Amino acid sequence: MAAEDRKTEVEIFGERYTLRSEDAPEHLHQVAEYVDGKFRELMKLSPMLGPSKAAVMVSVNLADELFKQHAEARRREGDMLTRIDEIVRLLGRDAVTG
């Protein structure tokens, strides 16, 4: 089934949206629930915020989360590579002395 043929209805902050995607509807509903939760959190903190400003603020907050997660993943990858290098170094030393 082509992406344009698979439509999923979701609701975000009281508005209905039709999403077209190759992803499973369950996944899209999870994503929509997450975004909806972010809108609701923001509106509790800033109830006078207009819809377009709320959308921008939620987008900035989500992008911030994504950037932080990518940075953490890169840090962990670097840590693993350092450990692997250390193991390889130790194994090489043992092979020479063994």
Q: pLDDT by residue (tens digit) across 9-66?
A: 999 999 999 999 999 999 999 999 999 999 999 999 999 999 999 999 999 999 999 9
- pLDDT value at residue 61: 98
Quick check: is 85 in a domain? no
User: Which range of residues forms the domain containing residue 42?
Assistant: 3-69
Token pair of 58 as six digits? 């939620």
- pLDDT value at residue 92: 87
**Total number of domains constituting the chain:** 1
Quick check: is 86 in a domain? no
Q: How far apart are CA 92 and CA 98, in angstroms?
A: 10
* Identity at 11, one-letter amino acid code: E
Q: Looking at the predicted structure, is the pLDDT value of residue 89 above 80? A: yes
Token pair of 22 as six digits? 């190759």
Output the pTM of the full model. Answer: 0.76
Q: How far apart are CA 59 and CA 52, in angstroms?
A: 11
Q: How far apart are CA 97 and CA 35, in angstroms?
A: 58
Quick check: is 38 in a domain? yes
Quick check: is 87 in a domain? no
- pLDDT value at residue 57: 97
Quick check: is 93 in a domain? no
Q: Looking at the predicted structure, is the pLDDT value of residue 94 above 80? A: no
Quick check: is 65 in a domain? yes
Quick check: is 52 in a domain? yes
Quick check: is 76 in a domain? no
